[in-house]
């Protein structure tokens, strides 16, 4: 099985009290490192892949669940970022050992994995057409990332 190219430590998320794991797919080492650092501020575990193919290969063999997929569509060769969004939406329930994500504290239902597309020129219509939940613009500042994560966590707690 392919292993992630980078991993952050395994702490609990401050906002929810349980470990959150994000899968980051970025062909740009600098973007990937920035996202790992931003996630570390929220004590979010990140697994980073440099290509959609590497992420798919691991997802097909792993029982790891990711609450959020962050896909940097810029500079991605081979399978593109939008195609990865679509592949994940079509195949997530068929992955080996897949089980629904852990419900957040006080949740009444189990939330699904969400997909965020990160791009220098985001296309909200393409994001929606390929199954992405959100589209963020690069460069992504720490403040923008913090707002996005807080909003995502709040939305998950309120909707469940």
Q: pLDDT tens digit string along 20-41?
A: 889 999 999 999 999 999 999 9
Q: Which domain holds residue 47?
A: 6-103+111-159
Kindly indicate the confidence band of residue 96, based on its pLDDT and cuts at 50, 70 and 90.
Answer: low
Tokens 């939940």 belong to residue:
133
pTM summary value: 0.77
Q: Is residue 66 included in any domain, yes or no?
A: yes
Q: Is residue 51 included in any domain, yes or no?
A: yes
The CATH number covering residue 132 comes to: 3.40.50.2300
Kindly indicate the confidence band of residue 103, based on its pLDDT and cuts at 50, 70 and 90.
Answer: very low
Q: Is residue 1 included in any domain, yes or no?
A: no
Q: Can you give the pLDDT at residue 93? A: 66
Q: Can you give the pLDDT at residue 100? A: 52
Q: Can you give the pLDDT at residue 6? A: 47
Tokens 């790992």 belong to residue:
36
CB 139, CB 93: distance < 8 Å = no
């Amino acid at each position: 099985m392919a292993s992630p190219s980078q991993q952050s430590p395994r702490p609990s998320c401050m906002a929810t009290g349980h470990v959150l794991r994000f899968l980051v797919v970025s062909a740009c080492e600098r973007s990937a490192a920035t996202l790992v650092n931003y996630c570390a501020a929220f004590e979010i575990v990140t697994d980073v892949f440099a290509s959609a193919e590497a992420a798919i290969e691991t997802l097909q063999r792993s029982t790891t669940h990711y609450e959020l997929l962050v896909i940097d569509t810029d500079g991605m060769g081979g399978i593109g970022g939008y195609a990865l969004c679509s592949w994940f939406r079509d195949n997530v329930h068929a992955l080996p050992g897949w089980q629904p994500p852990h419900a957040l504290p006080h949740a009444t239902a189990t939330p699904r994995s969400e997909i965020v597309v990160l791009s220098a020129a985001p296309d909200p219509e393409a994001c929606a057409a390929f199954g992405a939940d959100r589209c963020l613009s690069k460069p992504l500042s720490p403040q923008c990332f913090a707002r996005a994560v807080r909003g995502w966590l709040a939305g998950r707690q309120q909707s469940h």
